[in-house]
Every structure is written in structure tokens, then in C-alpha cells.
Amino acid sequence: MDLLAQVLANGILLGGLYAVMALGLALVWGVLNIVNLAHGSFIMLGAYCSWHLFHYLHVDPFLGLPITAVVMFALGYGVQRGLLNLIVRAPMFNTLLLTFGLDVVLTYLAQLAFSADFRAINPGYAGSQVHWGPMVLPLVRLGAFAVALALTVGMWLFLLHTRLGRAIRATAQNLVAARLHGVEPRHLYALTFAIGIALAGTAGGLYGTVSQINPYIGASLTLKSFAIAIIGGLDNPLGVLVGGLFLGVVEALTTLYVGPTFVDVASFGILALVLIVRPTGLLGRTT
């Protein structure tokens, strides 16, 4: 039972990080109807941004997250206005093709800039642990989980209770009606994409504290984010959190009882099951 409790705790902590990784993808997909295949590359760039802040400027990785978010927000706004705005509301194939090309370019540029070496963000407390009953919880993973939880709840409150958040939700539901109420779609689309990329960059900064990074991690992180967004539902940040936690626990139990080589099989098996039983996601709207 102690081993099971430890595995479940590890799965929950991992699931929180998964949730914040998928939050930006779900926002962009739900509002702009763009399946951003370059999402994982933006997570990778956020990880490198945090790594450079820590390695060269000695900024604590958690204190540096707002800086990373601002840098990635500016990058996301520019990419959307200069490139992705050309294919907003275009057929899905066009968006997939363009974002796939963007993913390839970002990966190649990252390799040129940072090399293919593995790197990690290791603050002085990286080996610290918190003992809670029979469980041993790494301090860094606890911090990453706390940030992920705060970002998810904050995004939920932002979408519900701010003017910009309500405009984003209105545009996602009915573009014509939103325009009639004074919403300027081009600027709103750019802001939405920039917020999604800022969330991805923040997730990258958290990812760098718990795992190694290199320019090629983007593809696997995109697939993981895609699965979580589908499992949780695109129209509810809390659903993305539930999807991330659910997938983290499933992967942890699969590693314990089946083996680590079957983790991806279990993840995408759950994805297929959710699509069959509840296509809108665990907490998505059914109407």
C-alpha cells in the first residue's frame, strides 16, 4: 500500500505538469480552431529561456517563470499576427500543414542555437524532498504542481470573470455575434494565441526543472498535450487539469504494474476510449 500511495502521488504531480502543458493547446484549439503542431516546440523554447535565465543570470527557475511567460507571449503574438493569422478559420489541413512546418523550423533553429546536448535546470534545492506519511515528494515536483494548479485555476477565473476572457469565450462560441458586440477578431486571435504560447513557455520552464531538455522534445510533448486536451475537453481549463491528472495517474500505474515501455500504449488507449464514450472530453459540454 505504501508503494501504491507513492506511485499515485508521483502520478498526480506529473499530471499537474501535463495539465499546464496542454492548457495553451486547448485554448488555441478551442478559440482559433488551430491544432498547433508546433506547440511542443514552444514548450521547448520556454524551457531553454528558463535555462538561460538560470544558467547565465542565476535567476531561480520558479522566479524566472514570469520573465519566460512575457518573452513567449511576445513571440506568440508576433507569430500569430505575422503568420498564423493567414490561416485562421481556414480548412484544418491548412493549419496542420503550416504549424507542422513551423515546428520543423523552430526545432532546426533551436538545434543551431543551443546544440543537441541534453540540459537541465538544477537549482540548489533540486534534491530536496518532503516527507508526507509514507510518501516522499520531490520539492521541485511539488513546486511545479503548485504552479500548474495556480495557472489552471487562474485561467478558469480569467475566462469567466474578465472582459477579455468573456470576449475570448464569446468568439469561440459565435464569431459573428462577438463581432456585433465590438470584438476585433484579429487582435483577439493574436492575444489568445500569445496567452497560449505564454502558458506553453511556462510549462517548458517547469518541465526543465524535472526533466532534461533538448531541441527534439517538442514532438512528444505535442502528442501528450493533444491527448490531454481531448481527454479533458477543450472548453474548460478545469477539464484540462482533470485530464492531465487522470493521464498522469494512468501512466504511473502502468509503469508499476505493466512496465514503462507500455506507458504510451496506455495513454493513447485511454484517448481512444474517451473519444468513443465521451467525444467532448471528461468535462466538456455535451450540447
Domains observed in the chain: 2-277 (1.10.3470)
Per-state percent for the chain, helix, strand, coil, to nearest 5: 75, 5, 20
Give me 243's grid cell: 485530464
The model's pTM is 0.92
Confidence (pLDDT) at 163: 87
62-101 pLDDT, tens digit each = 999 999 999 999 999 999 988 888 777 777 788 889 999 9
Confidence (pLDDT) at 1: 61
Confidence (pLDDT) at 37: 93
The share of the chain scoring above pLDDT 90, in percent, equals 35
Tell me the helices (H) and strands (E) count for the chain, helix number first. Answer: 11, 2
Residues 247, 17, 236, 180, CA torsion sign = negative
Q: Would the pLDDT of 209 be above 70?
A: yes
CB atoms within 10 A of CB 153: 13
Within 13 Å and on the Cβ side, how many CA atoms surround 232? 34
Cα Rg of the chain, angstroms: 19
Q: Label residue 284 by pLDDT band (50, 70, 90).
A: low
Instruction: Please give the backbone phi and psi of residue 132, each rounded to the nearest 5 degrees, phi first.
Output: -130, 100
Segment 167-189 shows an average pLDDT of 75
Confidence (pLDDT) at 202: 95
21-67 pLDDT, tens digit each = 999 998 888 888 888 999 999 999 999 999 999 999 999 999 999 99
Task: State how far the Cα of 267 lies from the Cα of 263, in Å rounded to an integer.
Answer: 6
Q: Label residue 282 by pLDDT band (50, 70, 90).
A: low
CA 52: distance to chain centroid?
Answer: 20
Q: Is 182 left (phi over 0), alpha (psi -120 to 50) or beta?
A: left
Confidence (pLDDT) at 194: 95
**Across all residues in the chain, what is the average pLDDT?**
87
Confidence (pLDDT) at 107: 95
Give me 110's grid cell: 533551436
CA 93: distance to chain centroid?
Answer: 22
121-177 pLDDT, tens digit each = 988 887 888 888 778 888 888 998 999 889 988 988 998 888 888 888 887 777 667
The share of the chain scoring above pLDDT 70, in percent, equals 94
Q: Would the pLDDT of 196 be above 90?
A: yes
Task: State how far the Cα of 239 lies from the Cα of 155, in Å rounded to an integer.
Answer: 12
Confidence (pLDDT) at 156: 87
Provide the residue type at 182 as one letter: G
Confidence (pLDDT) at 63: 94
The answer to whether 221 touches 270, Cβ cutoff 8 Å, is no
How far, in Å, are 1, 131, 146, 166, 203 from residue 25 at the CA level? 36, 34, 20, 19, 11
Residue 226: name the closest of 238, 242, 243 by CA: 243
